[in-house]
């Protein structure tokens, strides 16, 4: 299926509401920064960035006039310190801004900042984007409902995100998957099933292969692979349920075939149940934080009326829960979806407790 038919061509950026802004401040996501996204747009020139095989990466390396460069470097070091340290200027003497790259592909049009420690040449990246309420909900949900914590900062119209390390999914599928052992392929198939389920539960869309990374973890005598989302632009926006299921994107075809060839239907069902259960546990353990976020999201505008109507119908067809038909906002759809998963988990757990008591 072509993406033009599966997804909208352009997603607008939604402003941060007063309530979401207060939430971000309460949980230390909001802090004053010395540079804004629009400041970085004032570059005077750029060159295309190619990878090691001379293929266009869709990033361009930007340059600034001499009188602006020094101020921008100092500000970017400050942002790095706020994101990864205590915000002091002490570490600036050990840092160098090696590159500022700009991506014109996709919705967010981010800047990628490469920061190097001059003492040992270790380097990392962070990203500067335009603030979008939908993306912020995606980042917060990833922080609470996935196996991974996320570090990001928001100030007015600028969003700062930490770099998520890993092998881009499209690169892994093309260059590394063919050389994986049969055992590794089975493990990757399992992870893709869980990743697919997790994205659908929390309505994270557009997980094409270049929007997630594969993270190899060495465990004793073998390698375990994890799949981690890196793009949160399509949180709760699209109307088609298929957008929230990575299996329906043609870029993930080889991963889907891996599942078909390596896993039995019963195993797929088992892994889906495992992921739903662990997401339900994370919802319960997140306590007031996720309750506050859900309540704010329910009243927020992060999608179009047409998309809301379409998605609530699709989810009703899947769950047969009449409450979805009454949803007026995308946040309410998300809230009911998470509640549906939590209630099912609690009902199964209660059933197991009752059965065990009967056995006793």
| Count of Cβ atoms closer than 10 Å to residue 153 Cβ | 21
The model's pLDDT over 278-287, given as tens digits with 9 standing for 90+, comes to 999 999 999 9
Q: What share of the chain is helix, strand, coil (3-state, %, to 5)?
A: 55, 20, 30
pLDDT value for 3:
47
**pLDDT category, 8, cuts 50, 70, 90?**
low
Instruction: List own/partner pairs for 53-57 with CB under 8 A and 24 or more apart.
Output: none
Written as one string, the DSSP assignment of 60-108 is EEEE--HHHHHHHHHHHHHHHHHHHS-S-SGGGGGEEEEEEEEE-SSSS
Written as one string, the DSSP assignment of 186-234 is HHHHHHHHHHHHHHHHTTB----GGGEEEEEEEETTEEEEEEEE---TT
The model's pLDDT over 221-254, given as tens digits with 9 standing for 90+, comes to 888 999 999 999 999 999 999 999 999 999 999 9
CA dihedral 126→300→336→159, nearest 10 degrees, is 0
Q: What is the mean pLDDT of the chain?
A: 92
pTM of the complete model: 0.92
The model's pLDDT over 326-350, given as tens digits with 9 standing for 90+, comes to 999 999 999 999 999 999 888 765 4
Instruction: List own/partner pairs for 280-285 with CB under 8 A and 24 or more apart.
Output: 280/341, 280/342, 280/344, 280/345, 280/346, 281/345, 282/144, 282/145, 283/144, 283/145, 283/338, 283/341, 283/342, 284/342
State the average pLDDT over residues 308-325.
Answer: 93
């Amino acid at each position: 299926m072509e993406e033009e038919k599966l997804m909208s061509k352009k997603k607008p950026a939604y402003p941060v509401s007063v309530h979401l802004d207060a939430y971000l401040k309460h949980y230390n996501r909001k802090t004053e920064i010395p540079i804004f996204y629009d400041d970085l747009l004032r570059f005077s020139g750029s060159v295309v960035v190619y990878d090691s095989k001379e293929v266009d990466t869709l990033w361009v390396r930007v340059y600034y006039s001499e009188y602006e460069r020094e101020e921008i470097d100092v500000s970017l070091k400050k942002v790095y310190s706020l994101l990864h340290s205590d915000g002091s200027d002490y570490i600036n003497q050990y840092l160098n801004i090696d590159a500022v790259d700009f991506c014109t592909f996709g919705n967010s049009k981010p800047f990628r900042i490469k920061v190097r420690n001059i003492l040992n040449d270790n380097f990392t990246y962070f990203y500067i984007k335009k603030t979008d309420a939908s993306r912020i909900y995606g980042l917060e949900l990833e922080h609470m409902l996935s196996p991974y914590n996320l570090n990001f900062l928001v100030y007015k119209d600028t969003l700062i995100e930490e770099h998520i390390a890993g092998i881009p999914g499209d690169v892994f599928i093309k260059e590394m998957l063919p050389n994986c052992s049969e055992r590794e392929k089975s493990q990757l198939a399992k992870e893709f099933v869980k990743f697919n389920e997790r994205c659908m539960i929390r309505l994270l869309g557009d997980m094409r292969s270049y929007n997630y990374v594969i993270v190899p973890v060495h465990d004793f005598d073998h390698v375990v692979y994890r799949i981690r989302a890196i793009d949160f632009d399509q949180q709760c926006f699209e109307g088609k349920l298929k957008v929230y299921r990575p299996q329906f994107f043609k870029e993930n075809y080889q991963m889907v075939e891996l599942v078909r060839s390596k896993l039995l239907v019963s195993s797929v069902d088992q892994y889906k149940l495992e992921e739903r259960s662990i997401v339900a546990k994370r919802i319960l353990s997140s306590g007031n934080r996720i309750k506050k976020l859900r309540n704010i999201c329910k009243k927020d505008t992060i999608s179009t009326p047409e998309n809301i109507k379409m998605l609530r119908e699709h989810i009703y067809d899947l769950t047969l829960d009449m409450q979805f038909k009454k949803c007026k906002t995308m946040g309410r759809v998300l809230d009911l979806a998470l509640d549906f998963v939590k209630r099912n988990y609690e009902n199964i757990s209660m059933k197991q407790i009752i059965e065990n008591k009967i056995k006793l």
